[in-house]
Amino acid sequence: MKLTFLGTGEACDPNRLNTSLLLETGSDYHLLDCGFTVPHAFFGHCHDPEQLKTLWISHFHGDHFFGVPLLLLRLWEMGRQGPLHIIMGVPAEEKIRTALELAYPNFQERLQFPVHFTQLTPGEKFNYQDLHYMSAGTIHSQPSFALKIKNEKKSFYYSGDGRATREGEELMQGCDLIVHEAFTLEDRLESHGSIASCLSLQIKSACNTMALVHLARETREEEKELAKILSENKDILLPTDGEQLIL
Ligand SMILES: [Zn+2]
Ligand SMILES: [Zn+2]
């Protein structure tokens, strides 16, 4: 598996794209979250409209799903024919179709490829070829879900937004990589993770590597503190946009 951090920022960060991950398995692409600023970065990596097989959306905040209309428009323009699976922890179809209608009225009737919507609730599995998807709720200001993707060899966990729940902690056990949002330095907000809580999650989960994303702009400004944390914790990464990891 190859993972590209298309974006690592929060909603309003002027220096980073919205947090989004591109997973490559062979020639297949799987996209995790698609906010306002993500589609152009995605198409910088994608020149074959059939490559994208699944799209996971963690929750309905604009920095995680308002890029979907442009994503679909461009795939249409490129002549895609094969089905796209959109997967969410809550029912997705009505909101996605509404967003599409607002962005490009009457366009969806012309979409020439099928879009399949799947609700993946905790405890269930979605399988795409040798990939297994599992979800867990997070504690956020609206329903939001973390995702674990595993194949026979590797597994990784992406938090989306929000603090980890107990079921999320179970899901991240033993993962090769955890990508977690860390909005603040210390636990301060009810609905967001922090670097402090991520450090303890990494120890509890026995995970090899943890990448922190979606830091608030004020948190990014704590440069000395961040440098200290990274120097003391070699398994913690602070990826930049476009950075890649091989799992
Ligand atoms: Zn967000
Ligand atoms: Zn959010």
Q: What is the DSSP string of 1-26?
A: -EEEEEE-B-TT-TTSPBPEEEEEET
CA distance 58 to 21: 12
CA distance 71 to 77: 10
The whole-model pTM stands at 0.97
Give pLDDT, residue 36: 97
Distance from the CA of 158 to the center of ligand 1, in angstroms? Answer: 13
109-139 per-position pLDDT tens digit: 999 999 999 999 999 999 999 999 999 999 9
Superfamily, domain 2-246: Ribonuclease Z/Hydroxyacylglutathione hydrolase-like (3.60.15.10)
Do 85 and 128 form a contact (C-beta atoms < 8 A)? yes
1-59 per-position pLDDT tens digit: 999 999 999 999 999 999 999 999 999 999 999 999 999 999 999 999 999 999 999 99
Give pLDDT, residue 208: 84
182-204 per-position pLDDT tens digit: 999 999 999 999 999 999 999 99
Distance from the CA of 38 to the center of ligand 1, in angstroms? Answer: 13
Distance from the CA of 110 to the center of ligand 1, in angstroms? Answer: 31
CA distance 192 to 11: 13
Mutual angle of helices 68-77 and 38-45, in 10-degree steps: 40
Assign residue 123 a region (left: φ > 0; alpha: ψ between -120 and 50; beta: otherwise). Answer: left
